[in-house]
Amino acid sequence: MLSPKIQAAINAQLNLELESSYAYLGIAAFFEATAMPGMAKWMRVQSEEEHTHAMRLFDHIHARGGAVVLQPIEKPATKFKTALAAFEASLGHERKVTSAINKLYALAQAEQDYPSQVMLQWFINEQVEEERNVGTVIDQLRMAGDSPSALLMLDQMLGSRTEGPEGNPQE
Ligand code: FEO
């Protein structure tokens, strides 16, 4: 059985993962509108992956006899100055998620909720991957600078992403 505190905190995390999915969809829309189909694809895959993260929490709540409470999701941004600014926004979002996961894990420890701790360990590893993946793209965008040919090459490379860590091969 989930304690009321843990149930509320996992529901809040579920909302944050859905917000992440929506945020990435907003960034995908930006890239679609700016002729960067590869970056749009990368963001779209990431958006789908965030939905699977939300569903892990959804399933955990039900598996523990708890109740899912769905809250409104914040409106995402769909306009950015540059591709770099869009990826930097992603990294900022991932850092927020990492901090929330760490707090949730600390709460699960305080509440002696061992199954939630095990479930959250997957998220802790995942956040390391996610911050690294976005950080790598940011480094590459910085290297590309204002060079259209470098940006187009990077766009093509990022468009080869088919699935993220959840379904691998990028794990
Ligand atoms: Fe599910 Fe990117 O945090």
Q: Using one digit for the tens of pLDDT, what is the confidence trace for 39-92?
A: 999 999 999 999 999 999 999 999 999 999 999 999 999 999 999 999 999 999
The yes-or-no verdict on residue 167 having pLDDT over 70 is: no
Write the pLDDT tens digit of every residue in 85-140.
Answer: 999 999 999 999 999 999 999 999 999 999 999 999 999 999 999 999 999 999 99
The yes-or-no verdict on residue 166 having pLDDT over 70 is: no
Q: Whose CA is nearest to atom 2 of ligand 1?
A: 94
The yes-or-no verdict on residue 6 having pLDDT over 80 is: yes
Tokens found for residue 169: 């091969």
Tokens found for residue 167: 């379904």
Query: From the CB of 19, is ligand 1 less than 6 Å away?
Result: no
Greater pLDDT, 19 or 169? 19
Q: State the distance from the centre of ligand 1 to the C-alpha of 15, rounded, in angstroms.
A: 11
Q: State the distance from the centre of ligand 1 to the C-alpha of 147, rounded, in angstroms.
A: 30
Query: From the CB of 17, is ligand 1 less than 6 Å away?
Result: yes
Per-residue pLDDT at 171: 36
Total Cβ atoms within 10 A of residue 69:
13
Cα(58)–Cα(170) distance, integer angstroms: 24
Quickly tell me which residue has 């259209």 as its tokens. 148
Per-residue pLDDT at 162: 81
Average pLDDT taken over every residue of the chain: 94
The yes-or-no verdict on residue 170 having pLDDT over 50 is: no
Class of the CATH domain delimited by 4-158? mainly alpha
End-to-end Cα separation, the chain, in angstroms: 32
Quickly tell me which residue has 């927020």 as its tokens. 96
Query: Which candidate, 158, 93, 157, places its Cα nearest to that of 127?
Result: 93
Q: State the distance from the centre of ligand 1 to the C-alpha of 141, rounded, in angstroms.
A: 21
Q: Whose CA is nearest to atom 1 of ligand 1?
A: 50
Total count of residues recorded for the chain:
171
Q: State the distance from the centre of ligand 1 to the C-alpha of 149, rounded, in angstroms.
A: 31
